[in-house]
Structure 1
Amino acid sequence: MTLHASPAADRRPIRLLTFTTLYPNPEQPQHGVFVENRLRHLLASGAAETRVVAPVPWFPLTAERFGTYGSYARVPRHEERHGIAIDHPRYFLPPKIGMVPAPLLLYWGARRAVDRLRRDGYDFDVIDAHYFYPDGVAAALLAQALGKPLVITARGTDINLIPQYDVPRRLIQWAAGRASAMITVCAALKTALSELDAPADRITVLRNGVDLRNFHPIDPGQARTRLGEAPGGLLLASVGHLIERKGHHHVIGALADLPQARLVVAGTGPERAALEALAQRLGVGDRVRFLGHVPHQELAQLYSAADALVLASSREGWANVLLEAMACGTPVVASDIWGTPEVVAAPEAGRLMPELSAVGVARAVTDLLAARPDRADTRRYAERFSWDETTAGQIAIFEKLRHAAPTARSR
């Protein structure tokens, strides 16, 4: 990396191009909300400004009968969220065969939108990309074509799952070699990224934070009433997309060994019917309630109503729901994977499961209840995870790169 002297008079905010397919839109309001949250706190510092390019797959028809593909077509081409201008260019992503060509297709789909931003006078200093594959690889192509420094943030399955496939792994390594800097949301992901031969001296761990104003304790009795839950008894919550790797089936299965417990499940996804059938088959259907989509701003009420949040994921980088629950004074039970031990690192935070199974969930919940932490202590633990440190870390990286030439490294 070649650094050039920064003019003393250059006090303007750092200009970023935030590039990612993980960003909320009107059809997917929770999609990539963790990217948006980090960005909003960075912009609130006044040190940076950005334009977001968040491509979505192209599909010609908007009808709801086409499911997810129809929702892609309904996403607006341009929008503004929380004062941030966002472009949603389209890229072609053929079903079933799209994984390998996805980075190049994503680059082609986004290039016109990026060029238009520059023609309109927004010539950014640094590309701020999120998720290594395909987003980070496409961003590396953009950085190479435009001569811009690049920062890629690794977030979870992009490093702990996708590199199992040969071509994506090689492309991730190529992009890592060309990134001026990389960010991981936990130390475990930094280790995994280094093991992929990414230059360790360019990797910085900047964990996600929690918005302590939005997520705060609410009286549990009042929260249960608003949620439509009866007072008293043990109430567990499981929050996340209804897909296999989120492990909701383990939590439902644990109810057989927790006869006093009720469970509320928040989220949507393709596994809902199977999860409902599982609850009925195990004879616990009357103790499981599926809430469907719960807006992010309403999750504080759900967390506060619960005695514990259970996250039984098989893969996570840094699970934001854990800190959100703790900020509401609710301890957690979580699988012992990747960055989760960095989040659940004290008794007042909660417990890690001894094994990822229904039995493991039940054992960890029982252990937690045997020495249940005070909600005030759990809240104080969460207060250690504000966004301030992460924001400062980003500013330091971007400020260093704003006058830097892009990194060139062959593979």
Structure 2
Amino acid sequence: MLKLLTFSTLYPSAAMPSHGIFVETRLRHLVASGRAVSRVIAPVPWFPLKGERFGEYGRFAATPARESRHGLDVEHPRFIRLPKVGMSSAPYTLAWSFLRAARRLQAQGDDFDLIDAHYFYPDGVAAAFVAKALNKPLVITARGTDINLIPEYAFPRKLILRAADQADAMITVCEALKDELIALGADAAKVTALRNGVDLALFHPAGRDQARAALQLAPDRFTLASVGHLIERKGHELVIGALAELSDVDLLIAGAGPEEGALRRLAEQLGVAARVRFLGALPQARLREVYAGVDALVLASSREGWANVLLEAMACGTPVAASKVWGTPEVVAAPEAGELMPERTAAGVVEAVRRLRAAPRDRAATRRYAERFSWEATTQGQLDLFHRILAARRSPELRHA
């Protein structure tokens, strides 16, 4: 049985159940194979005060020190995120917290074969320090912004490349990120693209009429959904802007974040506020209801590694309109999946939505397309990679076999 230590600051908790859920989901499917077990160390920034009035930091403060999620034991040690110098100092404070927690597990008899780290900076860099200190093999998964944005800064880029050189292997969630990581200077022989899958049991198209009724959607109105954190790079403002040209279209926005006030003001300024409904952050079961009920999902992001929301919507039979960024063209790769925007603007959203309406997609065909993206291949890819690394550690001549 393969014994992993999974490490990431992007991991859900009782206080933040949607935070980094994509890391947890992949790990759950891996463990469900019956061929691997894992302990999870998911540090959170230290903050002295709990409460919603302190926003994200208040939720970090409310995170339990230890919990069990879906049968996985999770520890949430604290680390110091220093004001103004957080980007530079975080790998070091994070590594110190991780090393203490890992050594405590070992002292309790919970040793492990390999460190499975997610998100390259600061998490993967911190994991490289710890892997070296404990003489453990290391795999780092790159997920998006950690490769397509953070390396624009010289100091993080230097540490990312140092960690990439030390890592036994790296995983990217799409081919576009693999190409970018190699272009940065990572060894191509150590990089494997393993795309995310979709939970086909959780996200399904059944009960569309009930979902529309629960959402109080008008039967004669075409309804879009825009799902994701309310932050600039998700592009919710472009979808709101498109409504000015789509007079018979309504919009549901699912997510929470610092841009909510600005988005509400924009809807008022454009005279479309009556057609925009903010649903807040939703658990996945409620998101399924949204996906199943609406007519199309719009994702107007400026950066995405592999956007899980696209496959989640398709699994519910709902086609998508998405910006052509990074891994998204790898997800939206057939007509039944939906449309790619000709440009990432409000006008681009309008054009993609009009194409969807002019050539309605068969929802059953959209579901069948999503079924090509189950988790089995990704799980097997991880298992093969991990076992190959451990074999190479035992027999160095196999390292580049």
- TM-score (norm: length of structure 1): 0.95
Equivalent residue, structure 2, for 1:190? 178
Q: Distance in 1 between matches of 2:51 and 2:234?
A: 29
Q: Distance in 1 between matches of 2:63 and 2:73?
A: 14
The partner residue of 1:370 within 343, 358, 364 is: 358
Native 8 Å contact 1:218 1:301 kept in 2: no
Native 8 Å contact 2:176 2:326 kept in 1: yes
Q: Distance in 2 between matches of 1:296 and 1:220?
A: 16
Q: Where in structure 2 are the equivalents of 1:294-333 lying within 5 Å? A: 294-333=282-321
The percentage of aligned residue pairs carrying the same residue is: 63
Name the aligned partner's letter for residue 322 of structure 1.
L
Equivalent residue, structure 2, for 1:10? none
- Check if 1:84 corresponds to 2:72: yes
Give structure 1 stretches of 5+ with no counterpart: 1-12
Q: Distance in 2 between matches of 1:150 and 1:344?
A: 32
Name the aligned partner's letter for residue 58 of structure 1.
W
Native 8 Å contact 1:221 1:231 kept in 2: no
Moved more, 289-298 or 124-133: 289-298
Equivalent residue, structure 1, for 2:336? 348
Q: Distance in 1 between matches of 2:285 and 2:72?
A: 18
How many Å apart are 1:65 and its aligned residue?
2.6
How many Å apart are 1:403 and its aligned residue?
4.5
Q: Which has the higher contact order (CA 8 A, sep 6+)?
A: 1
How many Å apart are 1:63 and its aligned residue?
3.5
- Check if 1:383 corresponds to 2:367: no
Q: Distance in 2 between matches of 1:60 and 1:121?
A: 32
The partner residue of 1:52 within 40, 43, 52 is: 40
Q: Where in structure 2 are the equivalents of 1:223-372 lying within 5 Å? A: 223-372=211-360
- Check if 1:132 corresponds to 2:127: no
How many Å apart are 1:400 and its aligned residue?
1.6
The partner residue of 2:387 within 374, 399, 402 is: 399
How many Å apart are 1:298 and its aligned residue?
1.8
Native 8 Å contact 2:82 2:89 kept in 1: no
Name the aligned partner's letter for residue 60 of structure 2.
Y
Name the aligned partner's letter for residue 73 of structure 1.
A
The partner residue of 1:98 within 50, 61, 86 is: 86
- TM-score (norm: length of structure 2): 0.97
How many Å apart are 1:362 and its aligned residue?
0.3
Q: Distance in 2 between matches of 1:316 and 1:240?
A: 11
Name the aligned partner's letter for residue 273 of structure 1.
G
Runs of 4 or more consecutive aligned structure 1 residues displaced over 6 Å after TM superposition: none
Equivalent residue, structure 2, for 1:33? 21
Equivalent residue, structure 2, for 1:5? none
Moved more, 63-72 or 100-109: 63-72
Q: Distance in 1 between matches of 2:339 and 2:217?
A: 25
How many Å apart are 1:67 and its aligned residue?
2.0
Moved more, 88-97 or 239-248: 88-97
Equivalent residue, structure 2, for 1:201? 189
How many Å apart are 1:96 and its aligned residue?
2.6
How many Å apart are 1:404 and its aligned residue?
4.3
Q: Distance in 2 between matches of 1:33 and 1:232?
A: 35
Moved more, 126-135 or 63-72: 63-72
Q: Distance in 1 between matches of 2:194 and 2:98?
A: 27
- Give the SS at the match of 1:348: coil
| 1:320-339 C-alpha deviation (Å, 9 max, x unpaired) | 00000000000000000000
